[in-house]
Each structure stands twice: as C-alpha cells, then as structure tokens.
Chains A and B, each alone.
Chain A
Amino acid sequence: DARVTQTPRHKVTEMGQEVTMRCQPILGHNTVFWYRQTMMQGLELLAYFRNRAPLDDSGMPKDRFSAEMPDATLATLKIQPSEPRDSAVYFCASGFPYRVNTEAFFGQGTRLTVV
C-alpha cells in the first residue's frame, strides 16, 4: 500500500558529525514536508517542497541544515555539523494540496540522538 518511507528509523551520532535523513514520498504526491518533533517545541515545520522546488525553509537553522529533492522519489534533510540540541524525531510527510479530501501522510520518522 502507498506509504511515506523514511530512513534510517534511528540514528545515534556524535556531535560534529554529518547526518543525512531520507524520505520517499507517496508516488504522485507533489508536496513534501519536513517536520521536527520535540517535547518542548512540538511539531515544527522545517521546510517544504512542491514539484521538487523548495517553497519555504524558514524553519530550518540555515547554517547547519539543508533540504533537497534531487528527484520526485527522494527528499533529503542534512545536518552538518550536528549538535546535541538537534536530537529529535524528524518526520517527512507528503500530500497533494488543494485536491479534495486529501491530507498529508506521514512517514514513521527518524529518531535522531546526537551525543
């Protein structure tokens, strides 16, 4: 069945290392969102793409985070260098806005721990 696939599911890394998270959106969806979830801040929108073009990345710390969509089947979120405060669950979601009765569907998330 159609689903959003995220890899890896869990990642433990040392401070200063590069982290890359990947997302395969549902086939046919034209919009991809990246969210970060923490207890303190809840679900924060980091960036989103439509038809592979970045529309808004104002939620991301620009100096260390970057998001790309090299093709329609892959979205990536990179952190370089990583810091302990980046520890969170990162969710990717895909959808087709303005189509009747559709919503964003979420992947299982990547749980990142930076030590």
Chain B
Amino acid sequence: ELKVEQNPLFLSMQEGKNYTIYCNYSTTSDRLYWYRQDPGKSLESLFVLLSNGAVKQEGRLMASLDTKARLSTLHITAAVHDLSATYFCAVEDDKIIFGKGTRLHILP
C-alpha cells in the first residue's frame, strides 16, 4: 500500500527565514506533485516532478525529487506572509495519494 508521509505537519516561522518541508513515500513512483490549499479553498497545483533529480522553482518556492531516496522537498526561501497555507505532496502510482499536509504559518 502506497504511503506518503510529510513532515513537519505544522510549521510556524518568521518572515525572511528559510525552511524545508519533507515528503517521503513508499513506492517506486517517479511522479510527484505539490499542492497548496488556503483555508476553506480547494487545492491548487504548484509543481509537477516527473523524474529523478527534477527541480522546479516558482518565486520563493523550490521543489525537488530524489526517486532513489523516495524523497521530495519543498524549500521556502525568505518566507513572506502570503505563503501561509497548507502544502500537500502527492504521489502518483496509478492512483494519487496525498500526504497529511504541512500547515505553514508565517509570522510578520
């Protein structure tokens, strides 16, 4: 059974700091996604990672994938308040299974 684990589940950080969210998974899949969810809203796609070593960047967010380690990271650089949200990683192994999410709160 495919398992996807994220950590931390909660993260409170100050503006301007850097931090990394980790996503471990249990299958040999090489397709991994990162989504963002704002309170009361739907999920919005951030990154699609399709191969070992894939790295994608958008603004202050950078995602990477290591399929050998079955690990993806979402790195936040110089956090700003607008990045406060819940971030999910999801792994595709025919079906798509989500981690529990990381609730990120950025303090001004």
Which A residues are within 8 Å of any B CB, using their own CB? 33, 35, 42-43, 45, 48, 55-56, 91, 93, 95, 97, 100-109
Docked Cα-Cα span, A3 to B50, in Å, equals: 23
Interface on chain A toward B: helix, strand, loop, or mixed SS? Answer: strand
- Count of CB-CB pairs between chains A and B under 8 Å: 46
Which one of B94, B97, B101 lies within 8 Å of A97 (CB-CB)? B94
A101's closest neighbor in chain B, by CB?
B48
**B37-58 contact mask (Cβ, 8 Å, vs A): 1 or 0:** 0000111110010100000000
The answer to whether A48 and B100 touch (CB under 8 A), given A102-B48, A107-B42, is no
Which one of A56, A91, A108 lies within 8 Å of B95 (CB-CB)? A56
The answer on a CB contact under 8 Å between A55 and B42 is no
Which B residues are within 8 Å of any A CB, using their own CB? 31, 33, 35, 41-45, 48, 50, 88, 90, 92, 94-101
B34's closest neighbor in chain A, by CB?
A103
